[in-house]
């Protein structure tokens, strides 16, 4: 009798032990799963228990905290924030790291409470550098765009006022001519902005092969009247079969902008020459002019939106400051690039490099 009872108890104890082991294994797997999931989060996460002892640190947190002098500063902010959370208060602090490269990390903390029971605290560290830069670029862009549009719109208002009070028909005609010019300028800015935004959103969509000679023919059509007005001679390459993968509309727009600039920034009666070459799986389309050239210090900046070497000259020639930004974006969309070689007073060569397709 006693032996049977003892056996039953033993079996019960074994079952209980097995269940306890399985439950511990499940808890351990659940903890590992959670740690792995937290590791994937692109924000630094650190968890402390109710005594303030660290119990979890994900790999983003490790990267931010162990990265040299910057890591020490982030660590210091985190310690302060975690102490706050340990006292039941959440907090946030922005840490600006001088770099190089300069970075901004936002450190936040929060107490972990269940009803009124404090179980610990969680701290997060987020590198917001890129987001801030993007916001600043957007702000600058909106400010620049408003400024650019304010000029012709302001001129239109002033001209309209002058027209209203003008009795002399000759002066009226002159003023009306200027109204048209300013309205055209505003339209050009808006059209270029729309072009740029379309090119940015279209990105690198499907890119069927297109003949470079066909692109050049269409781009030349767009600048023919400007060339005629300036007495510029356009020299084009002989028809060749080179092909690039491309969005025809975007590529024509890029080439037309390069040709338009070559004509605009050259003296009347000069030559603009286009040559096409290929090698190393790339096609190079070069647009060369004998114009005013670009100082070396501006070679990088001319591709920025609204950047002009000489704002007055760009304005007089009807420039919007967006042409080269469009060219650069088209090149990037096509997996290519745009380069410039130029000397002040001697002329410039812009080279659009695109991947080559072998038909």
Using the rule CB under 6 A, is 323 a contact of ligand ADP?
yes
Q: What's the min distance (Å) between Cβ of 289 and ligand ADP?
A: 5
Using the rule CB under 6 A, is 152 a contact of ligand ADP?
no
User: Which residue number, 132 or 222, has a Cβ lying nearer to ligand ADP?
Assistant: 222
From start to end of 70-139, where are the E strands? 91-97, 103-114, 117-127
What is the C-alpha separation between 64 and 250, in angstroms, rounded? 41
Q: What's the min distance (Å) between Cβ of 306 and ligand ADP?
A: 8
**Residue 100: cis peptide before it, omega within 30 degrees of 0:** yes
Q: Which of 308, 332, 335, 357 binds ligand ADP (CB under 6 A)?
A: 308
What is the C-alpha separation between 100 and 133, in angstroms, rounded? 15
Q: Apex CA 297: angle with CA 295 and CA 302, to 5°? A: 80
Q: Which of 112, 310, 332, 357 binds ligand ADP (CB under 6 A)?
A: 310
Helix or strand (DSSP H, E) at 45:
strand 44-49
Q: Which of 111, 152, 319, 336 binds ligand ADP (CB under 6 A)?
A: 319
Partners of 287 in the β-ladder? 274, 350
Using the rule CB under 6 A, give the single segment among 49-57, 63-71, 136-144, 309-317 that binds ligand ADP.
309-317
Q: Which of 109, 247, 284, 314 binds ligand ADP (CB under 6 A)?
A: 314
Using the rule CB under 6 A, give the single segment among 16-24, 88-96, 235-243, 305-313 that binds ligand ADP.
305-313
Q: What's the min distance (Å) between Cβ of 245 and ligand ADP?
A: 25
Using the rule CB under 6 A, give the single segment among 111-119, 206-214, 238-246, 319-327 that binds ligand ADP.
319-327
Q: Are 210 and 285 in contact (CB under 8 A)?
A: no
Backbone angles phi, psi at 303, to 5 degrees: -85, -5
**CA nearest neighbour of 324 among 187, 235, 226, 196:** 196
Using the rule CB under 6 A, give the single segment among 16-24, 121-129, 234-242, 321-329 that binds ligand ADP.
321-329
**Which residues between 235 and 294 bind ligand ADP (CB under 6 A)?**
257, 261-262, 265, 289, 291-294
Q: What's the min distance (Å) between Cβ of 192 and ligand ADP?
A: 8
Using the rule CB under 6 A, is 211 a contact of ligand ADP?
no
What is the C-alpha separation between 287 and 340, in angstroms, rounded? 10
Residues in Cβ contact with 242 at an 8 Å cutoff, skipping those fewer than 6 apart: 211, 212, 213, 276, 278, 283, 356
User: Which residue number, 14 or 198, has a Cβ lying nearer to ligand ADP?
Assistant: 198
Using the rule CB under 6 A, is 148 a contact of ligand ADP?
no
Backbone angles phi, psi at 66, to 5 degrees: -100, 10
Q: Give the binding site for ligand ADP (CB under 6 A).
A: 257, 261-262, 265, 289, 291-294, 302, 307-310, 314, 319-325, 348
């Amino acid at each position: 009798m006693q032996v049977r009872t003892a056996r039953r108890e033993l079996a019960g104890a074994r079952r209980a032990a097995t269940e306890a082991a399985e439950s511990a294994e499940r808890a351990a797997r659940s903890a590992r799963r959670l740690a792995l999931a937290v590791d994937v989060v692109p924000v630094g996460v650190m968890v402390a228990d109710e005594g303030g002892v660290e119990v979890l640190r994900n790999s983003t947190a490790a990267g931010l905290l162990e990265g040299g002098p910057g890591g020490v500063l982030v660590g210091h902010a985190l310690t302060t924030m975690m102490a706050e959370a340990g006292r039941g208060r959440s907090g946030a602090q922005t840490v600006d790291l001088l770099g190089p490269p300069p970075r901004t990390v936002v450190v936040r903390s929060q107490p972990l409470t269940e009803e009124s029971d404090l179980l610990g605290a969680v701290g997060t560290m987020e590198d917001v550098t890129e987001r801030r830069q993007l916001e600043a670029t957007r702000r600058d862009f909106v400010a620049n765009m408003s400024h650019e549009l304010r000029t012709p719109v302001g001129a239109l208002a002033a001209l309209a006022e002058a027209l209203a009070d003008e009795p002399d028909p000759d002066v009226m005609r002159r003023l009306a001519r200027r109204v048209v010019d300013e309205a055209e300028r505003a339209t050009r800015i808006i059209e270029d902005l729309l072009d740029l935004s379309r090119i940015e959103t279209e990105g690198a969509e499907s890119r069927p092969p297109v003949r470079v000679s066909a692109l050049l023919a269409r781009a030349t059509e767009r600048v023919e009247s400007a060339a005629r007005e300036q007495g510029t001679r356009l020299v084009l390459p002989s028809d060749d079969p080179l092909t690039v993968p491309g969005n025809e509309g975007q590529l024509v727009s890029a080439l037309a902008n390069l040709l338009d600039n070559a004509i605009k920034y050259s003296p009347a009666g000069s030559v603009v020459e286009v040559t096409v070459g290929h090698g190393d799986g790339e096609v190079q389309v070069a647009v060369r002019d004998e114009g005013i050239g670009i100082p070396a210090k501006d070679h990088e900046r001319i591709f920025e939106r609204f950047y002009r070497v000489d704002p007055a000259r760009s304005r007089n020639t009807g420039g919007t400051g967006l042409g080269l930004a469009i060219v650069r974006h088209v090149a990037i969309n096509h997996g290519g690039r745009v380069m410039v070689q130029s000397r002040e007073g001697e002329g410039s060569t812009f080279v659009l490099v695109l991947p080559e397709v072998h038909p």
